[in-house]
Amino acid sequence: MVRQQPFREIAREIERRIRQGVYPENSALPSRPELAEEFGVARATLDRAIQELTRSGILVSRHGSGTFAAPIAEKKFRVGVVSGAEFMEYAGSIFDAVFLNPAELENRSAWRRLFEFDGLLWVRPEAVLFPAIEAIAPQVPSVLINRVVADLPYVSSDHRRAYYEITRSRIAAYPEALPVLLQSRPDSLVTGYRCEGFVDACRETGKFYEVVRMPPDFKEKVATLEERLKLSDERPLLVVSDTRAHTGALMRWSAFHPVEWRGNLFYSDFDNDFDTDIFGVRVTGFLQDQELLFKEAAAKLKRTLDGTPDAESGLLVYPEFRDADT
């Protein structure tokens, strides 16, 4: 297991005590021998922690007088932002924020760098980063953004509930329709949440459903839809795509068939805010606010670092529903 060095753990704990008022500003800390005994470490380890806090301005050493807690009300926490470069300006207004390229963290040898931070914001991490998250999060306060993981703090769009509700409501309104899910690569975490919501609704209503595995290539997508989708006035298709990436192919397919929107074909996707100039229709679906998610996650991490963590580990934000033409 990758662990932060003992002196960093001690430095983090001393800083926490200062921020929470255990060691008031300008007050003297216990003597170094007392602190070394409390933390159960050698004097050299304790000295290294004190040196790090002194360099960062958290402590002030006064020759002959001891070590004192410096005023740190204006000091920003140093936070690593993994991915999410578009949010760095906002992150920098709250934290001493550093952008981290997620590709560099796929190598285990790079994980130790994460211990340099007071906290971490993981923006839309994919499964390849989860070993790093699981190793680091118990030691460095972390918040995941747009991912839901048991026992880890997160702020996410409620993908599962959104897909459950649109599928459930359309099944209720059109019980004769056949639900069909256009499914992307199975290892995508977010599309997995959406698939679960679709399946939840179908199982709850006792509806038989079909899953169409969509290839990445556009022409292959159209060919797959041609093979799998069969229009019928007696049994409309209730097509739900786990991403807007398949919508162009669906629209191309619809151009060669007698589609009647909300008649023999219902369609919805996610994060599709295109107007009629793109597809000729406005697509029904959900729009998530990525900026809101980041701000909520940053606030959640800030409360944790301030010593007032939320009672609930996770926050789900229901995305905006756009009831449009399809």
At 311-326, the pLDDT tens digits run 888 999 999 999 999 9
CATH number for the domain harbouring residue 23: 1.10.10.10
Model confidence at 186, pLDDT cuts 50, 70, 90, reads: low
**Average of per-residue pLDDT across 129-154:** 91
Domain extent for 10: 6-69
Whether residues 25 and 98 fall in one domain:
no
Nearest to 49 by CA among 12, 101, 100: 12
More confident position, 188 or 54: 54
- How many whole angstroms separate alpha carbon 10 and alpha carbon 45? 9
Question: Residue 117 above 80 pLDDT?
Answer: yes
Whether residues 53 and 201 fall in one domain:
no
Whether residues 177 and 239 fall in one domain:
yes
Question: Residue 178 above 70 pLDDT?
Answer: yes
Q: Cβ of 247: how many Cβ atoms within 10 Å?
A: 22
324, part of any domain:
no
Model confidence at 28, pLDDT cuts 50, 70, 90, reads: confident
Residue 293 backbone zone (phi > 0: left; psi -120 to 50: alpha; other: beta):
alpha
pLDDT reported for residue 72? 65
Q: Give every CB contact of residue 130 below 8 A, 6+ residues apart in sequence.
A: 149
263-296 pLDDT, tens per residue? 999 999 999 999 999 999 999 999 999 999 999 9
242, part of any domain:
yes
